[in-house]
Amino acid sequence: MANLQSEFVGIKSPNPFWLASAPPTDKEYNVRRAFEAGWGGVVWKTLGEAGPPVVNVNGPRYGAIWGADRRLLGLNNIELITDRPLEVNLREIKAVKRDYPDRAVVVSIMVPCEEAAWKAILPLVEETGADGIELNFGCPHGMSERGMGSAVGQVPEYIEMVARWCKTNTRMPVIVKLTPNITDIRFPARAAKAGGADAVSLINTISSITGVNLDSMSPEPMIDGKGSHGGYCGPAVKPIALNMVAEIARDAETRGLPISGIGGVTTWRDAAEFLALGAGNVQVCTAAMTYGFKIVQEMISGLSEWMDEKGHASVADVVGRAVPNVTDWQYLNLNYVTKARIDQDACIQCGRCYAACEDTSHQAIAMSDARVFTVKDDECVACNLCVNVCPVEDCITMVELDAGALDERTGKPVQPEYANWTTHPNNPASREAAE
């Protein structure tokens, strides 16, 4: 049996599935239910400094994007950090950690960008027995307008400065949560490492407006006729998150920096993809809010069965295995050639592949009078648009051609005589080298 036990920056948990800092981790009742369901750890919803309470809106806090079957694809929220008193949260964190010593309890923190504010809250969190802290430099709404959250996360110098303050003033591991609302995720990651952070977590939510009410002419969710941008999460953001995790994992300056992967993790497969691209564990929010805490049981069993099937003995065996295969476009093998193939037995003759290719691609699919669809190899550039629009799984596949294969129409070799863009004759640099 695969061993799902996880150790992330010295923090041990029975599995790599943590709940992210969000409404599901806002109080003791929720966290206890989560641990009973099987979650390996939680990041407690972001605490702020003692003082005037945070006041959330008393109207809709979420906007949504659904698929055609009403499946939730993306969730937008305008909720702020915890609106519960600091002392109450601290008391509950201590009680939970006492009763669940084998689970990871990390506390998210967000206070003004002043050393005194961080220095004041750190010992309070440390006294609870929490395993670590996560610096919330990602929240894109509400708190960022007060100079916190993504307002800090978008300035690498601030990230490095605050991380150093925290490392100086606490024994706990420091995880820096990064905002995706930035042009190049490598720069804030490098800053976190320079400040001494033990790890980074990403992505936080993406600044967004999910829709507009065309009757009131207000963004959704609407509060008394007005709306605000919020933070976008859920399955729709997973591709963005995977790319950013991979960018940090393969960057020479941050290689080896532990990563906690966040962004649209809904199934065990999602988690495995994050692990393969360099994440040491994953954090989940939207899936739990959509399906309840017990969804982790499917994630655990699915990941375990897949690891057994593939011969991976531990989570560590999976972490980063795909990173060496992530490269820049210019190094892709231009001699690798595939063509689309249509399984006539599986085809339902809907014509979507033909319409997509004929109208928007390379006119590489022929349609007979009997509505039989076939691929014209001499026109097919292997873009695989037909595969993606076909409603029947595995009806259309991409088949690799053997090296030296001849085009049936022209009789010429299909493969070009260059390995990648660096040697391509249209590359100005390769032309200059040849001359």
Catalytic residues: 139
Q: Which of 235, 315, 303, 249 is nearest to 277 (CA)?
A: 249
Largest interatomic CA distance in the chain: 79
Question: Cβ atoms within 10 A of the Cβ of 117, count?
Answer: 18
In order of 161, 168, 291, the CA distances from 195 in angstroms are 6, 10, 38
Contact of 222 with 60, CB cutoff 8 Å: yes
Q: Are strands 365-367 and 373-375 parallel, antiparallel or unpaired?
A: antiparallel
Residue 126, token pair as written in the block? 């440390």
CA distance 265 to 242: 10
Instruction: Compute φ and ψ for 308, nearest 5 degrees.
Output: -60, -45
Helix, coil or strand: residue 404: coil
CA distance 304 to 1: 7
Q: Which of 269, 267, 293, 218 is nearest to 34 (CA)?
A: 293
